[in-house]
Amino acid sequence: MQFAERIKRLGTETAFDVLAKVNELRAQGKDIISFSIGEPDFNTPENIKKACKDALDRNETHYKPANGILELREVIAQKSFELRGVKVDPSEVVVTPGAKPILFHTLHALVNEGDEVIYVNPGFPIYESVINFLNAKPIPLPLVEEKEFSCDIDTLKSLITPKTKLLIINSPHNPTGGTLSRSDLEAIAELAIKHNFYVMSDEVYHRFSFEGKFESISSIPGMKERTIVVDGCSKTYAMTGWRIGWGIMPAELAKVVTRMIINSDSCTAAFTQYAAIEALKGDQTESYKMAEEFKARRDLIVSLLNDIKGVRCLKAKGAFYVFPNVTEACRNLGFKDSRELQDYLLYEAGVAVLARTCFGSKNVGEKDEYIRLSYATSREQIIEGLKRMKRAIEKK
């Protein structure tokens, strides 16, 4: 079968490839502890599930507006104001089946072939994938350990050209757990306004900001009209399988994205939208408990990683990932890179992690090796998994 040329440019999310290997090994009877997939191990809170059941009982199973039901968009606008301090009109909100369609549709709406899109690297692999799919030019913005995986403004300045159309940022960040400070965001905003480019701000981990107040670039004067905020229920409310997300963007862009939804999805499932209303308006106790547990797990996993010879790990400031430097561990084991370490840990230690290159190609001059561990699993699993890693890496 002959596929369109553009399919060759479409990447994937390799976390799911590793998950498939984990499931295959488990089916063979092997005991695997997985730190690979970025999914809360908690169940969706009961009040949210009840709201969905009630919607089904009301027969909320028919078409809804392509940009989302008004009641949900009103709630998103209000909650966004409470979180970010920026007034949002419901016409500036677009609801989608998960947050990924906002990335996909917005990039299609804004970016032409040959345009340049700057994106954080390492980063969520779908950023780079869609940029390449559009035949635009991906420009990686390196996030380095020495800067605690924050943004180096001088480096960003050096990457901006007259062809720069969009910058993609993510805070708290996947895979490093780093965050962008208010001063970082103000410097980025100054550049966006000066050079007239848009900013897509992926804020799906905002509830999991462990060190200080969450900050959004959309709150900086002059940035609301050039920012696309990406958000959703998947991480905050343990609703990954529900597929409910949204974007907050200028109303003119929202109309275009809505037209693209009409051409692709028609609309987001009605009953999940009513569940999202309850998620945002209802009792937040379980979500905040989840955030507190993630913070405790963060402290545990960082301590255990730093006790492994050849491994060093910064304390993540947010999300539910750590990104330890394993350069020395790879060298001690005779591995050329973290991909070989990933395979070794899976097949020899029964521990699933993700290599640095699962999150974008290495930056020019990048020599260190890293792996990502998701600590969205129990403390018992973290303790046992890190015990296995220590034994395998130190060969005890």
**Ranges of each domain in the chain:** 5-43+286-394, 61-281
In angstroms, rounded to a whole number, what is the distance separating the alpha carbons of residues 230 and 93?
Answer: 10
Neighbours of 364 (CB within 10 A): 7
Ordered DSSP codes for 272-314: HHHHHHHHHHS--HHHHHHHHHHHHHHHHHHHHHTTSTT-B--
User: pLDDT truncated to tens, each residue of the chain (396 aa)?
Assistant: 999 999 999 998 888 888 889 999 999 999 999 999 889 999 999 999 999 999 999 999 999 999 999 999 999 999 999 999 999 999 999 999 999 999 999 999 999 999 999 999 999 999 999 999 999 999 999 999 999 999 999 999 999 999 999 999 999 999 999 999 999 999 999 999 999 999 999 999 999 999 989 999 999 999 999 999 999 999 999 999 999 999 999 999 999 999 999 999 999 999 999 999 999 999 999 999 999 999 999 999 999 999 999 999 999 999 999 999 999 999 999 999 999 999 999 999 999 999 999 999 999 999 999 999 999 999 999 999 999 999 999 985
DSSP state of 140: E
pTM over 0.85: yes
CATH code for residues 5-43+286-394: 3.90.1150.10
Q: Do domains 5-43+286-394 and 61-281 have the same CATH topology?
A: no
Pick the CATH number of 61-281 from 1.20.1630.10, 1.10.10.10, 3.40.640.10, 3.10.20.740: 3.40.640.10
Which residues are CB-neighbours of 379 under 8 A, at least 6 positions away? 296, 297, 300
